[in-house]
Amino acid sequence: MKKYTFLVTISFLLTYSFVGAQNPTFTTSGDLCTGKTITFSTPFNPPIGSVQSIHWNFGTGNLGDTVLQDIAPFVPVPFAFAQDRDYFVIVTVTSTNGPKHVGSRAVFINPTPDVIIDLAVPCFPSPIVFEDFSTVSTGTINSRLWSIDASTSTDQVFTYDPGIQGTYSIQLDVTSDKGCKVAITENLDYAELPILAIIPSGTLTVCEGDSATLSVSGASSFIWNTGATASTIRVGDAGFYVVTGYEGNECSVTDSVQVVYVPKPIAYAGDDVSLKLGEKTTLQGSGGLAQSWSPTDFLSDPFDANTDASPNSTTQYVLTVVDPNGCTDKDSMTITVDTETTVPIHNMITPNGDGYNDKWDLSDVPQIENSSIHVFNRWGWEVFKSEDYKHDWQGTFNNKQLPDGSYVYVIQFENSNFETLRGVLEILSNTQQ
């Protein structure tokens, strides 16, 4: 029988499965409550090689809620959960030799209480009553602790009498039956009842179309029934405007002012007028209790609705009227002046007693009644002067007839639009009829 010898080579594919102590575990520190920072850490060291990286998946379903640590040292990782529920947290440790080691466990996050304090702080000297309205979505509020100055209380309703005015800080610590804690601190002002002063006070009368300004003082903060919170507001409608002034949190007082709108007067300046230079007209203004014109130039009385006007150029006059409520209105009219007007001056008299041209008649000269008249002989001597001319001069001086010849006249107007007039007056007393 022949014998054979065989050489058999056997290859094995080894698959490492790390179980038990070879799977990473992790620990947490901090309250397992919503909104609280929880620190995750793993003490795991791979059996082969060393830690190359650590990857954390906190089980929220959001890609952003993962952390990769690939640089030593591998410190604990902080994370806060927003919702109360179970989270399946996975930690993956990769060794320098390549294998990955995965560990996981469920972490239950409990709800953190919502702290709600009633801060209805009254005015000094009434005591302050605090009430805790805190809630928790699941479970119950297990305990609370009020702290203000050196006083504390564990009651849901806490009454505190500061004794003096000032600013105080109240803290409330609330703990749920799951051990989730939260604290809130509020500052409050404890003050006397404010005394408001509204300007104007009582009833404010406003002209139609205008706005009114209301101001209040006497408190630290304000709120109007319009919703405005400024101390000064502008209003455009009639009605009652109510303002509440606050000192502290709820120490308040209310005051009001009534705004009444009244119609404006109607100003009427009259129709437009055309004049020749030197003429005057009476303005036909009306409306309101008092009137005034502007500009005041060439008016006999700018505060008379029916004043006389004699402008020396085209002018627009504006009439402003005021009623008993102080409301005003305006209207305007225009006086068009013909500036081409020539002033007529008689330049010869014949004082021979025939009844014709015996007197120097200036009655055709506008505003001659507001003038001063001077006549000079050829040597410059004043032979005649009048400031209230009656159109009766017959060429005399000291009751004696002046010699025939040429005389210079100067007519100066006061409060008039005419410039001074100068010219030559001839006296011919021997003129035949």
Q: Which tens digits make up the pLDDT trace of 386-424?
A: 999 999 999 999 999 999 999 999 999 886 667 788 999
Could you tell me if 374 and 334 lie in one domain?
Answer: no
Q: Is residue 407 part of a domain?
A: yes
Could you tell me if 354 and 384 lie in one domain?
Answer: yes
Report residue 72 as tokens.
């030593």
Could you tell me if 100 and 85 lie in one domain?
Answer: yes
Could you tell me if 381 and 314 lie in one domain?
Answer: no
Instruction: Say how far apart CA 426 and CA 271 lie, in whole Å.
Output: 44
Tell me which of 13-22, 169-178, 374-383, 403-412 is least confident. 13-22
> In the 8-state DSSP scheme, what is residue 362?
-
Q: Is residue 6 part of a domain?
A: no
What is the model's pLDDT at position 415? 67
The alpha carbon dihedral of 355, 359, 360, 361 has a sign of: negative
Q: Is residue 7 part of a domain?
A: no
Could you tell me if 136 and 90 lie in one domain?
Answer: no
Adjacency order of strands within the sheet including 315-322: 273-276, 328-338, 315-322, 290-294
Sequence-distant (6+) residues with CB within 8 A of 399 are none
Could you tell me if 138 and 87 lie in one domain?
Answer: no
- Tell me if the pTM is above 0.75: no
Last residue of a domain, one of 148, 165, 190: 190
Q: Is residue 85 part of a domain?
A: yes
Instruction: Say how far apart CA 48 and CA 255 lie, in whole Å.
Output: 82
The residues that bridge with 293 in the sheet, in sequence order, are 319
Domain span including residue 375 = 348-427
Could you tell me if 409 and 353 lie in one domain?
Answer: yes
Last residue of a domain, one of 82, 108, 134: 108
Q: Is residue 376 part of a domain?
A: yes
Last residue of a domain, one of 169, 190, 211: 190
CATH of the domain at 59: 2.60.40.10
Could you tell me if 82 and 124 lie in one domain?
Answer: no
Could you tell me if 357 and 392 lie in one domain?
Answer: yes
User: Smallest Cα–Cα separation from 65: which of 43, 44, 87?
Assistant: 87
Q: Is residue 402 part of a domain?
A: yes
Q: Is residue 281 part of a domain?
A: yes
| Mean pLDDT, range 364-378, rounded to an integer | 89
Do 391 and 363 contact (CB within 8 A), yes or no?
A: yes
User: Smallest Cα–Cα separation from 73: which of 50, 90, 101?
Assistant: 50
CATH of the domain at 385: 2.60.40
Residue 10 has pLDDT above 60, yes or no: no
| Mean pLDDT, range 243-272, rounded to an integer | 92
Q: Is residue 4 part of a domain?
A: no
Could you tell me if 122 and 168 lie in one domain?
Answer: yes
Domain count of the chain?
5
Residue 432 has pLDDT above 70, yes or no: no
